[in-house]
Amino acid sequence: MGEILNVSGLVTKLRNGARIVDDISFSIRAGETYALLGESGCGKSMTALSLLRLLPDGVVHAGGEAQLDGVELFNLREREMRDVRGGTAAMIFQEPGLSLNPVMTVGEQIAEVLELHQDMGGAAVLQRCVELLVQVGIPDAARRVTEYPMQLSGGMKQRVMIAMALAGQPKLLIADEPTTALDVTIQAQVLQLLRDTQNETGMSLLLITHDLGVVAEMAHQVGVMYAGQIVEQSSRSQLLAKPLHPYTQKLFAALPSAARIGQPLAAIPGSVPPLGSITQGCRFAARCDKAWALCNEQAPQWTVVGEGQGVRCHLYSELAAGSLLSVAKSENLQGESDAASVGYPPQVSSYQLLQVENLRVHFPIRKGILQRVIGQVKAVDGVSLEIPQGRTLSLVGESGCGKTTLGKALLQLITSVADSMRFAGQDLIGANVRGQRAAMQMVFQDPYASLNPKMRVAEILEEGMVALNIENNSAERQAHIDRLLGQVGLARNSKWRYPHEFSGGQRQRIAIARALAVSPQLLICDEPTSALDVSVQAQILNLLKSLQQELNLSYLFITHNLAVVEYLAHEVCVMYLGRIVERGTAEEVLRSPKHPYTQALLSAVPRIDGKGVERIRLEGDMPSPANPPPGCYFAPRCAHAMDICRASYPPATKTTATHIVHCHLHGDGLH
C-alpha cells in the first residue's frame, strides 16, 4: 500500500520565533493507523492543526512539507484547502463542547458536511444523519438528531463529533483524543467502528492519544512526542516489547495497575516545558534520572536503532555508546524506586460520612403551547449508597446512565428527592446546604466549561477561598494557591494566565486545584483524569491518595477508566440507566463481576499485554431514560435474559456480605 500522508521536517512556530513543532517527520500508509503519543502540552494537537492549516493567531508554518494523497498541502490556496478539510481529511477535535455550534442542532451540523462534501440533499440527508448517529452508538438517534449540543452528555458530544468527521468519508481521519470522554463500552464500539471503516474504505488514521491501552489496540506505528519533537518512533509491537527512550519508559511505569495498589505510582517529576522554551540540550533532561552533562549541552540527534525503530537520545548515540552502557544497564527509573520506597497504609473507617437512601432525579417532559407534562426522564431512579470517612466509592457506567446527575444531586446543584440524605450526621433534605459548601466539592467533567474564561487562574482559585473565608488575608491565600499549583503539577507563574492559554489536561488540573482550595471532606470527582495523560494522571492519583491519608478525605469517583478504579477505589458501584445494578468492594466487582453488564464493561477495557478477556459485545443501544423497558432495564441488551427479566425488575441479591447484585441470574432477592 502507498503512503497517504508524508510529513517531512514540519516546523511550526510563534511569530516571535519560538518553535512549538520542531522538525517533525513521519508517514502513514493507506489503511494504517499512526499513533502520536505523549503528555498534554507536548505539541500533538498543534501538529494536527498544522497539517490542516488551522493554526491559531500568532502561530505560523515555518518549514517542512506535508503531502496528502499526493497533494502538497502547504502549496494549496485557502479555497482549495477548504475542499480538503472534511473531504480528503477530517478531524475529530479534543473538546467537542467547544467544536460544536451551540445554536445549531446536531442534525444540522452533520448535514453541513453531507451537503458540502457528499452532494446530498433533501430527505436523504436526515436519514444519513440518523444512520451516522446510530453508527457511533447514540441511543434514540431519531430524537437526538433534532437536539442541541447542550442537551447531550460529554460522551454523546464526542460521538457527534466522530459522526461529523465520518460523514465526509475521508481518506485520512485525524482523531485528537477521540475516546477521552467515553466509557469503556462506547470506547470499544468507537474503536471498532474506526477499524471497520478502515477495513471497508482503506481510510488512514492519525490517532492522537495519551491512552497506552488504545495505542496497544489500534496503532500500527507509534511516534512518542515530547516538547515539540518526536523522541521515539517504532512499530506497536516494538514499543510495547521494549520502549527505548527514558520518557517512554516512564510513561509505561506510570500506568495504574492492581500490582501497585497501596503504593504511589511512578509519576514523572515536573511537567512538560513550555514549547519553544528549551533551545539547548535534550528537552527531557530536567526530568530524566539518566541525564548527564552532555544532555544539557547538546541536543541529541535522531538515531536509528533497528528496522523501523529510532530514538532521539544520547544513550543510543555513538558518542555515548561506550561511556554510558553500564549506566543504561544499572539504573532503574527514579519513579520506580521512589514508588517502591513508601506505601499507603490501609485506612478503615466505620463512620459513614454520606448516607443516601432512594435518591431520585426525574426531569419533566413538556409538550405543547401550555407546556404540559407528558412524561418523566428518570435520570436517577432510586439510588442508595454510603461513603465512609476516608474511603473512595467509585461510580462506573456508560455515558448517559446518570452518574454526573447523581453527583450534582448529592451537592443539591439540581433538584432531587430522597427518603434520606445525611452528611456528617446532618440532614440535607430541605436544608440550606451553603454551610456544607466547603465540605462538599466537585470536579466537573468539562474543565473549560467550568472555568470562567474572563478570570485568571489565581482569581479562579481565590474566588471560593474568599467566599468561604479560607485563610486570613490575600497574601496567605496566594501562598496557598502556589502550593496547590505545585501539587497538581503546574508552574507557580501560571496563575496569572487565563484558561484558554492552557491545554485540556492542564485545565483539568486547575479544576482539581480549585476544588481542593477550600479543604473539603468529600470530593465528588466527575471524570477528573479523563483529559490527562498517564504521567499527569499518576501525579493526580498520587495526590488524591496522599490527601486522603493526610486529611481523611472521602471521594465519590465517577470514571470510565477501570484501571484507575482498580488502583484508587475501595468500593465500586456499577450504574445502568439511573439505577445501581452491582455494588461491592473493588476486588469483588473487578475480579468476580456478577452482573452481565459489569462483565461487559470489564471485557471492553483495552489492555497493553493483549491478555484481556473475550470481548462481550452489547446488542443495541442503552434505552432512553424517558422510556425505560419493563422488567430489568438491561434485559434488551443481555445475552442471558429470561422471561422473568422482561417481566420484573430484579431485587437485590447478596452474593457475599459486601457484594450486592440486581440480577435474576443470582437468586430470588436479598438473602
Q: Sorting pLDDT into bands at 50, 70 and 90, what band is 339?
A: very low
| Mean pLDDT of all residues in 150-172 | 86
CA gyration radius for the chain? Answer: 25
In what helix (H) or strand (E) does residue 174 lie, and over which residues does it extend?
A: strand 172-176
Which residue has better confidence, 140 or 295?
295
Parallel, antiparallel or unpaired: strands 426-427 and 440-443? unpaired
| Spans of all domains in the chain | 3-239, 246-341, 352-439+520-666
Mind spelling out the 3-state secondary structure of 475-535?
HHHHHHHHHHHHHCCCCHHHHHCCHHHCCHHHHHHHHHHHHHCCCCCEEEEECCCCCCCHH
Contact at 8 Å (CB) between 502 and 45? no
Q: Sorting pLDDT into bands at 50, 70 and 90, what band is 181?
A: low
Chain Cα centroid distance, residue 237: 24
pTM score: 0.79
- Amino acid 40: pLDDT: 77
- Amino acid 261: pLDDT: 77
pLDDT greater than 80 at residue 347: no
Give backbone dihedrals phi and psi of 493, rounded to 5 degrees, phi first: -70, -5
- Taking the C-alpha atoms of residue 320 and residue 300, their distance in angstroms, rounded to an integer, is 10
Parallel, antiparallel or unpaired: strands 204-209 and 229-235? unpaired
Closest CA to 524 of 552, 495, 556: 556
Cα angle 146, 151, 152; round to 5: 95
Contact at 8 Å (CB) between 566 and 257? yes
Give backbone dihedrals phi and psi of 231, rounded to 5 degrees, phi first: -100, -15
- Taking the C-alpha atoms of residue 281 and residue 295, their distance in angstroms, rounded to an integer, is 5
Grid-cell match 549506566, residue found: 327
Report pLDDT digits (tens) over 365-407: 888 888 888 888 899 999 999 999 999 999 998 877 899 899 9
Q: 386 - beta bridge partners?
A: 355
Q: Sorting pLDDT into bands at 50, 70 and 90, what band is 671?
A: very low
Q: What is the DSSP string of 204-219?
A: EEEEEES-HHHHHHH-
Which residue has better confidence, 167 or 183?
167
Instruction: Give, in order, the Cα–Cα distances in Å from 490 to each of 211, 495, 497, 498, 506.
Output: 21, 9, 12, 13, 8
Q: Half-sphere exposure of residue 46, counting CA atoms within 13 Å on the CB side?
A: 32
Report pLDDT digits (tens) over 29-81: 999 999 999 887 788 989 999 999 999 888 999 999 999 999 999 999 999 99
- Taking the C-alpha atoms of residue 533 and residue 224, their distance in angstroms, rounded to an integer, is 12
Report pLDDT digits (tens) over 100-109: 999 999 999 9
- Amino acid 625: pLDDT: 87
| Mean pLDDT of all residues in 169-196 | 82
- Amino acid 616: pLDDT: 84
- Taking the C-alpha atoms of residue 615 and residue 619, their distance in angstroms, rounded to an integer, is 12
- Taking the C-alpha atoms of residue 463 and residue 467, their distance in angstroms, rounded to an integer, is 6
Report pLDDT digits (tens) over 411-468: 888 888 998 888 888 887 665 566 677 788 998 877 878 899 999 999 999 998 998 8
Which residue has better confidence, 216 or 343?
216
Under CATH, to which class is 3-239 assigned? alpha beta
- Taking the C-alpha atoms of residue 300 and residue 662, their distance in angstroms, rounded to an integer, is 58
pLDDT greater than 80 at residue 490: yes
Parallel, antiparallel or unpaired: strands 59-68 and 3-14? antiparallel
Q: Sorting pLDDT into bands at 50, 70 and 90, what band is 626?
A: confident
- Amino acid 138: pLDDT: 84
Contact at 8 Å (CB) between 11 and 33? no
pLDDT greater than 80 at residue 222: yes
Please tell me the least confidently modeled range out of 37-46, 111-120, 188-197, 231-240. 188-197
- Amino acid 433: pLDDT: 65
Q: To the nearest whole percent, how much of the chain has pLDDT over 70? A: 91
- Taking the C-alpha atoms of residue 263 and residue 545, their distance in angstroms, rounded to an integer, is 9
| Mean pLDDT of all residues in 187-213 | 86
Residues 6+ apart with CB under 8 A from 376: 362, 363, 364, 365, 626
- Taking the C-alpha atoms of residue 485 and residue 494, their distance in angstroms, rounded to an integer, is 8
Q: Sorting pLDDT into bands at 50, 70 and 90, what band is 338?
A: very low
Report pLDDT digits (tens) over 501-542: 887 668 888 988 898 888 889 999 988 877 677 877 887 788
DSSP symbol at 150: G
The three grid cell numbers given for residue 84, joined into one nine-digit string: 480538503
Q: What is the DSSP string of 402-452?
A: SHHHHHHHHTTSS--B-SEEEETTEE-TTS-GGGGTTTEEEE-S-HHHHS-
The amino acid at residue 513 is A
Q: Average model confidence (pLDDT) for the chain? A: 85
pLDDT greater than 80 at residue 276: no
| Mean pLDDT of all residues in 180-194 | 76
- Amino acid 670: pLDDT: 45
The three grid cell numbers given for residue 462, joined into one nine-digit string: 481565590
DSSP symbol at 77: -
Closest CA to 447 of 399, 542, 513: 513
| Mean pLDDT of all residues in 13-27 | 88
pLDDT greater than 60 at residue 342: no
Q: 270 - beta bridge partners?
A: none
Taking each helix axis as running N to C, give the angle between helix 154-167 and helix 184-201, from 0 to 180 degrees, rounded to the nearest 10: 0
- Taking the C-alpha atoms of residue 392 and residue 394, their distance in angstroms, rounded to an integer, is 6
The three grid cell numbers given for residue 89, joined into one nine-digit string: 481529511
- Amino acid 47: pLDDT: 94
Q: 524 - beta bridge partners?
A: 442, 556
Report pLDDT digits (tens) over 594-618: 999 999 999 888 878 756 567 888 7
Grid-cell match 498534554, residue found: 40
Residues 6+ apart with CB under 8 A from 655: 584, 594, 661, 666
pLDDT greater than 80 at residue 225: yes
Please tell me the least confidently modeled range out of 91-95, 211-215, 501-505, 570-574. 501-505
Contact at 8 Å (CB) between 452 and 460? yes
- Taking the C-alpha atoms of residue 566 and residue 585, their distance in angstroms, rounded to an integer, is 10
Across the beta sheet with 579-585, what order do the strands follow?
440-443, 522-526, 554-558, 392-396, 571-576, 579-585, 660-662, 652-654
- Amino acid 318: pLDDT: 60
Which residue has better confidence, 619 or 589?
589
Under CATH, to which class is 352-439+520-666 assigned? alpha beta
Q: 230 - beta bridge partners?
A: 225
Instruction: Give, in order, the Cα–Cα distances in Å from 8 to each of 5, 65, 91, 221.
Output: 10, 5, 20, 16
Chain Cα centroid distance, residue 299: 33
- Taking the C-alpha atoms of residue 605 and residue 618, their distance in angstroms, rounded to an integer, is 14
